């Protein structure tokens, strides 16, 4: 009986895959790993050259595009387009679970990881936009301000644009549940399965695998470096592989459990622990000094947002500009993640209004992120400036991975407990990013199937763990990070096309244009008649 079930599962796996996207997505990733396993220096030099060329010549473009996404989403939230709805059904999840899954699937692991560390970098080396002396009281609010800027509104904007575009065309125009659905306004819903769509989906698979495998390497390094720093335990290559394997097993189990039983429950747990850790740090740390610094930094972020968004720095320092190493890097990284994050957002957004998706994407996420960097990053900077703790010393000796160990170790009474909670939170946030991204890859490689088979999900989960393990051992994680950033460049264009397509679609939907005109522009609406194009949230079907 078991043999028959196994054969049925294997048969389902082969029947559901989209062979071109599956083969090329996995093949390109494995070729990349093989190149770094055999000739790491030459491969890294080649990838680094492409990255430098992109940053030197197109940094202005990435800055403008990402700012454009923020302005577009702001108009969606406050303008008439917000009433439009993704599909004709009730939302599948409560708003808290919806937001928690969106936050966990996106940049939350990076936000927790960099929370205690990034402001310290800007404090010790002040961004060139400002003239404050390094490691001074004047540098403190600037350090927090730039951390907030790098991780709040703008980083999340490309995820949200991609999620809106995929979700709107999937649930309103029957486009396939794949990244290439954003091409619907250009090609029509019935034609996105052509060669251009397949190329975008293949690039999306590679970008997702690269981005998540690199994050797995980062989180693994935090554990490995922390063991060495805190307890003097040094793990060799076997220990590194075991850490990666353990984390891969955890997110694979969550993945197989599915969105409702696995990702949703873990995301709710994440957000609860995230809020508790943030409040505990505020109470146990220098509370009033944190609040004062947070107020000043948030005011600077709001007042100087456009100046920071459009700052390109003098040309003589290219390609090693500060703005390229920090701001532009931070914009390309989420652009590389935008395919899987957008696809996952689309997957959980059916029934939501366009306004709800846009607000959750950049509004609610910023409301969670800004306090985190203000409190945790502010505590680290205050401790460093006052001499309460030396966080910069261990960071210089080890890496940014030790910042959380130093910060939480200095908090009174509950410090060791909070350090443990911090490590759990980094892990669980990464797990939700990894399983949601693996689900997205599974959907892309099965032609847009909403519930891919367990074998398909496990295959991609194991491949991600394998890629991360090999690259951490051979020293190619930085190269994979560079490659993932390079894939962010074409997705800047894809996201821009998605935004322009949405603008035209929303104009058509709210401007009283005849249905046949909309059909000629976008392709046929859903054939079962369950979703009316341009249906407005709360509108009856009479």
List pLDDT tens digits, range 320-345.
789 988 999 899 988 988 998 899 89
Whether residue 166 has pLDDT greater than 80: yes
* Across 32-46, 207-221, 376-390, 391-405, least confident range: 207-221
Chain centroid to CA 356: how far? 19
Q: How far apart are CA 59 and CA 464, in angstroms?
A: 30
What domains does the chain contain, in order, with CATH numbers? 15-514 (1.20.1740)
Q: How far apart are CA 271 and CA 453, in angstroms?
A: 28
Q: How far apart are CA 514 and CA 137, in angstroms?
A: 61
| pLDDT tens readout for residues 270-299 | 899 999 999 999 999 999 999 999 999 999
Q: How far apart are CA 244 and CA 233, in angstroms?
A: 17
Burial 363-396 (b: 16+ CB within 10 A, else e): bbbbebbbbbbbbbbbbbbbbbbeeebebbebbe
| pLDDT tens readout for residues 476-506 | 566 666 776 788 899 999 999 999 999 999 9
Measuring CA to CA, how many Å separate 238 from each of 235, 242, 252?
7, 6, 21
- Phi, then psi, of 132 in degrees rounded to 5: -65, 145
User: What is the three-state SS of 295-357?
Assistant: HHHHHHHHHCHHHHHCCCCCHHHCCCCHHHHHHHHHHHHHHHHHHHHHHHHHHHCCCCEHHHH
Q: Please compute, for residue 91, the number of CA atoms within 13 A of its CA located in the half-sphere on the CB side.
A: 19
Q: Please compute, for residue 49, the number of CA atoms within 13 A of its CA located in the half-sphere on the CB side.
A: 6
Based on the number of CB atoms within 10 Å of its own CB, is 185 exposed (0-12), middle (13-18) or buried (19 or more)?
A: buried
| pLDDT tens readout for residues 170-189 | 999 999 889 999 999 988 87
* Across 91-95, 180-184, 393-397, least confident range: 393-397
pLDDT at 319 (0 to 100): 58
Among the residues of 79-194, which ranges form H helices?
95-105, 108-114, 118-124, 139-151, 153-173, 184-187
Q: Is 51 helix (H, G, I), strand (E, B) or coil?
A: helix
Mean pLDDT, the chain, rounded, equals 84
Of 90, 140, 63, whose CA–CA distance to 380 is shortest? 140
pLDDT at 484 (0 to 100): 66
**88, two tokens:** 């004709």
% of the chain exceeding 70 in pLDDT: 88
Of 342, 278, 253, 279, whose CA–CA distance to 69 is shortest? 342
pTM for this prediction: 0.88
Residue 87 contacts residue 351 (beta carbons within 8 Å): yes
Residue 290 contacts residue 134 (beta carbons within 8 Å): no
What counts of helices (H) and strands (E) characterise the chain?
25, 0
Q: Please compute, for residue 89, the number of CA atoms within 13 A of its CA located in the half-sphere on the CB side.
A: 12
**100, two tokens:** 């928690």
Q: How far apart are CA 304 and CA 296, in angstroms?
A: 12
Q: How far apart are CA 448 and CA 522, in angstroms?
A: 19
């Amino acid at each position: 009986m078991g043999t028959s079930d196994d054969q049925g599962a294997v048969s389902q796996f082969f029947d559901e895959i989209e062979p071109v996207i599956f083969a090329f997505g996995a093949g390109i990733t494995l070729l990349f790993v093989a190149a770094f396993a055999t000739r790491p220096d030459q491969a890294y030099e080649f990838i680094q050259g492409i990255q430098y060329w992109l940053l030197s010549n197109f940094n202005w473009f990435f800055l403008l595009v990402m700012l454009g996404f923020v302005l577009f989403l702001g108009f969606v939230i406050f303008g008439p387009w917000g009433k439009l709805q993704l599909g004709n059904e009730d939302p599948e999840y409560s708003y808290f679970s919806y937001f928690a899954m969106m936050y966990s699937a996106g940049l939350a692991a990076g936000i927790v990881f960099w929370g205690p560390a990034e402001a310290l970098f800007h404090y010790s080396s002040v961004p060139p936009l400002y003239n404050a002396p390094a490691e001074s009281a004047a540098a403190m609010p600037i350090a927090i301000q730039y951390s907030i800027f790098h991780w709040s509104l703008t980083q999340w904007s490309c995820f949200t644009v991609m999620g809106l575009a995929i979700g709107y065309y999937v649930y309103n125009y029957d486009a396939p549940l794949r990244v290439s659905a954003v091409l619907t306004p250009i090609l029509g819903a019935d034609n996105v399965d052509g060669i251009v769509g397949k190329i975008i989906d293949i690039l999306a698979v590679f970008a997702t695998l690269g981005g998540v495998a690199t994050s797995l390497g980062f989180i693994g390094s935090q554990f490995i470096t922390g063991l060495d720093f805190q307890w003097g335990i040094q793990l060799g290559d076997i220990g590194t592989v075991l850490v990666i394997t353990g984390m891969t097993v955890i997110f694979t189990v969550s993945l197989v459990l599915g969105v409702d039983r696995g990702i949703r429950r873990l995301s709710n747990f994440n957000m609860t622990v995230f809020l508790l850790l943030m409040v505990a740090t505020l109470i146990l740390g220098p509370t009033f000094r944190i609040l004062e610094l947070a107020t000043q930094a948030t005011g600077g972020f709001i007042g100087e947002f456009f100046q920071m968004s459009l700052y390109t720095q003098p040309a003589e320092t290219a390609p090693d500009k500060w703005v390229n190493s920090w701001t532009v890097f931070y914009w390309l990284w989420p652009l590389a993640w935008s395919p899987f994050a957008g696809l996952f957002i689309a997957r959980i957004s059916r029934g939501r209004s366009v306004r709800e998706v846009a607000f959750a994407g950049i509004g609610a996420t910023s409301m969670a992120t800004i306090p985190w960097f203000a409190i945790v990053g502010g505590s680290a900077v205050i401790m460093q400036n006052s001499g309460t703790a030396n966080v910069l010393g261990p960071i210089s000796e080890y890496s940014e991975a030790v910042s959380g160990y130093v910060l939480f170790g200095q908090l009174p009474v509950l410090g060791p407990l909070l350090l443990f909670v911090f490590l759990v939170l980094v892990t669980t946030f990464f797990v939700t990013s990894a399983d949601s991204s693996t689900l997205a890859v599974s959907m892309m490689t099965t032609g847009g199937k909403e519930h891919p088979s367990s074998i398909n999900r496990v295959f991609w989960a194991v491949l991600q763990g394998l890629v991360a393990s090999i690259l951490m051992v051979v020293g190619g994680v930085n190269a994979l990070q560079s490659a993932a950033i390079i894939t962010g460049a074409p997705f800047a264009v894809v996201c821009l096309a998605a935004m322009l397509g949405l603008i035209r679609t929303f104009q058509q939907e709210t401007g009283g244009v005849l249905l046949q005109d909309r059909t000629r522009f976008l392709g046929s609406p859903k054939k079962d008649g369950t979703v009316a194009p341009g249906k407005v949230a709360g509108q009856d079907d009479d």
